[in-house]
Chain A
């Protein structure tokens, strides 16, 4: 999985979809990856996070 902090608009949608995987920097809300290789049990949440990201800043590779 890849995140693009330059594109991130700090909407926080990824944190709401998968808070075990994504967090936000305190100073500006930009996405931080907590777990770059989440297991199968989180796959659906991660796909949701990528789908709802308003900046298309999350890329999921199978």
Chain B
């Protein structure tokens, strides 16, 4: 048997996908890969296979027997106490989930939108005050989603920076030591325990107060829910803002197309999510029973599967000109937010943030351009979420 491929893969250039994606999709749709932990998983790269596994409600994200992702002792975010304590499957998971999804309806997103826009405008004001060039990621993309999450959790503005630090540390695969990750998680849990108590004493108009009022969740689940929303909703969206703007500026005709036609905004966001060449690892599933994939491949029970949504999103069997970024592509059933019962709970918020970020940047900084060549962009390493280290821009 061949040696497992070392995972994750790296693309030839910062905004280009790894060559392995297309190769494995056509020749080896189930490929043994070695994770950062050293454990082995089976990597899926075809759209149909990734969608099938993610949509199957029988398969949990992790279990005692599944491969560990990270090289730290605990195996990273997906193997933490948090992942183990939360309702993971079936009825209990759906009940928990539906307490949260109340806060992510399209109606709520529309109501939240002006607040997000005001935050984005405030961040652009800061960029203008500092002057060009600026790092769009540090000045704009990184703060925006953490401000929004703090707002939803009812966390005061003055604690936003601490939240940003905690989420950065807790999502680490290799960048921080186990001691640093443990310390961040412990600080966060202490903070959240106090925050839950404060909200119980004096409820506000926020998600956490609402969950407390629902009465059915233990303090541990409340705290982990806050932690989950932070780590799931911060780094992912922050990086995606940076990557989306970098993609649009790397070929500036895209930016100009958007300046000329604002109706492309929503489809542009979806297409940026689809063609993202650095989406991170993908999603892990642990097979509790044997599984036959639609194209006939057999996977035995006990297999840890790594689903590459990034590779699946460029599957030529699903998308015409799959490698091309087409700002008008509709419908665009990409898998960037996963699929099935565990698909991203905050996807409507992520979409809203990405749309508002793009809209505000187009309006305030129409002359925006990259301050480096696309090849000079540097990728983030050592985080479960892929992204660019900096997005240097001028205007």
Contacts and interface: CB of A to CB of B under 8 A. Distances in A.
B332 interface: yes
A33 interface: no
B341 A9 contact: yes
Q: Report which residue of B330, B331, B345 has the largest number of chain A beta carbons within 10 angstroms of its beta carbon.
A: B331
B74 interface: no
Given A28-B99, A29-B98, A54-B339, A10 B104 contact: yes
A30 B94 CA distance: 11
A55 B55 CA distance: 7
Given A11-B337, A47-B331, A27 B109 contact: no
Contacts of B99: 28
Contact-size category for A: 20 to 34
B105 A12 contact: yes
Given A24-B107, A26-B102, A12 B348 contact: yes
Given A16-B106, A52-B331, A11 B348 contact: yes
B80 interface: no
A10 B347 CA distance: 10
Contacts of B330: 48
Nearest to A55: B340
A54 B338 contact: yes
B331 A17 contact: yes
A7 B322 CA distance: 29
B173 to A, nearest CB: 26
Contacts of B331: 17, 47-48, 51-52
A51 B105 CA distance: 19
Contact of B105 (A9, A17, A24, A56): A24
A16 B74 CA distance: 40
A39 B337 CA distance: 30
A51 B109 contact: no
B337 A54 contact: yes
Contacts of A27: 102
B175 to A, nearest CB: 30
Contact of A9 (B106, B109, B340): B340
Interface of B: 55, 97-99, 101-102, 104-107, 109, 266, 330-333, 337-341, 343-345, 347-348, 351
Interface of A: 7, 9-13, 15-17, 19, 24, 26-30, 47-48, 51-52, 54-56
